[in-house]
Amino acid sequence: MKRCNVVRVLFSKEQAKVLETLGNRCAALWNAANFRCRQAFLKGEPVPSYAALCSEFKEHPAYKALPSDIAQEVLKKLRKAWDSFFACLRLWKKGKLEKRPGLPRYWKDRRTGKRLVRLIPVKSPRSYSLDARALSLTLPADLREKHGGRLVLCTKGVLRFHGQPKTLELRYDPVRKRWYAHQVVEVPEPARPARPEKHAAVDLGARVLVALAIEGLDRQLLFSAREVIKDFLYWTNQIAGEQLKLNRTGKKTSRKLRRFYQLRARRLRHAFVALAAEIVRILKRFCVTTLFIEDLTGIREDMDFGPKNILVHNFWAFRMLRNLIEAACARAGIKVVPMEPRGTSSRCAVCGHPVRRPVRHKAVCEKCGKLWHADANAALNILLQGSSKGHGAEATPQKPLAYRWNRHRWVSRFESAAGTLKAASGSRTAA
């Protein structure tokens, strides 16, 4: 399977000019080849394939200004962009997309007319070498004399995956004004340990991000989104304040506004990555081999919650969270099985009778008199459905164990209280 290493690239002023030159030349080749593809599409002719683009642009000045491995990878990415466009166009014609997809765009700022320096792709590992401290990159002929044949850059970060190196991309972040190296690595599939089958289930939600039910565990685990929502709304207010200032001056965007958007997205992803890691840690501790996770595709269609739409349609990135959990389970050798979520929140996990919801987070079964936390009940129903066990199997509605986000990691309420008491005793001792 393929994984991606991401490290930050450190550079001097002279090296920054070289990177900008390479990025500008990549944009020039992209724009020239994209113009050729767009004209063919608008005239009703077949869009050139990757092999046809390489053959046609082999003598083009923009192609010759780059090393062959970089120029070929630019054309390959362009062809992939057109393949994605045609796939979306087919979905739109079938009525599965609301808006008609747009053509692949030029790497160009329409306001200033300048090319956008976005990325420098490298096709083959023979043209680069990357380790934990340095990145060595091939250069075009006119830049080799000044830099001794190759461009050597210091790197900052950790290479999390080790295997057969594939392509590399140098991506520029215009908000932070930094370069990042993204390396694709082919790593072997993790071997699943030979142990007895044990199942767990996950219910995804907005206010409770994850409800986890584990076979043989009499309590469910709930990961509350309260602190994550607070942080998300704080940065949303910062974005609104900056937009108000820009409206007063007649501007639409600024680097500060883009920075706020980036901070909000990265902090949310940080919480989700830590959540996926914590779930896998718990699953490994209880020797779980299979995880059932509900598939919520299309659940937000035609949903209107009024003022709460920001939480449902902006904050609740369930697809990103599901992908992160699946990736973490794949690294740990845990099998992930998607499940149909229909009806899991509306019936009792003990007797299967329809439940009543007096408030959003509670479920009451009038037949057996059980009082559930609604998300814990749904997670247990998914577990019973996936493991093909009847209702009542290991279904005991005890008070679930709650986890919260302290902006660094996910901790249980008992761990939080112990940490608070320890910090308080330490401060009193110091005083």
pLDDT attached to residue 397: 55
Encoded amino acid at 393, one letter = A
Cβ neighbour number for residue 34 with a 10 Å cutoff = 20
**Residue bearing the bigger pLDDT, 431 or 329:** 329
For the stretch 60-101, pLDDT in tens is: 999 999 999 999 999 999 999 999 999 999 999 998 888 999
Which residue bears the tokens 């990177």? 19
> At residue 368, does pLDDT exceed 80?
no
pTM of the model: 0.81
DSSP per-residue letters across 156-210 = ES-----SEEEEEEEEEETTTTEEEEEEEEE-PPPPPP-----EEEEEE-SSEEE
Asked whether the CA dihedral 56, 57, 60, 64 is positive or negative, the reply is negative
Q: From CA 378, how far away is CA 348, in angstroms rounded?
A: 9
**CA 280/CA 334 separation, integer angstroms:** 9
pLDDT of amino acid 306: 64
**pLDDT confidence band for 372 (50 / 70 / 90):** confident
| Residue 413, pLDDT score | 73
pLDDT class for 325, splitting at 50, 70, 90? very high
Least confident interval from 187-196, 204-213, 269-278, 399-408 = 187-196
User: pLDDT tens across 210-230, in order?
Assistant: 999 998 888 889 999 999 999
Minimum mean pLDDT among 8-17, 63-72, 296-305, 400-409: which range?
Answer: 296-305
Mean pLDDT across the chain: 86
- Tell me what the mean pLDDT of segment 307-332 comes to: 84
| Domain-wise residue ranges, the chain | 2-186, 199-299+307-422
* 14 neighbors 20 (Cβ within 8 angstroms): no
At residue 425, the pLDDT reads 45
pLDDT score of 311 more than 60: yes
Closest CA to 384 of 29, 20, 376: 376
Which pLDDT tens digit goes with each residue over 110-131?
888 889 988 999 988 889 999 8
pLDDT tens for each residue of 134-163: 999 999 988 887 777 889 999 999 998 889
Q: What are phi and psi of 387, to 5 degrees?
A: -85, 0
According to CATH, the topology of domain 199-299+307-422 is Nucleotidyltransferase; domain 5 (3.30.420)
Report whether pLDDT(419) > 60: no
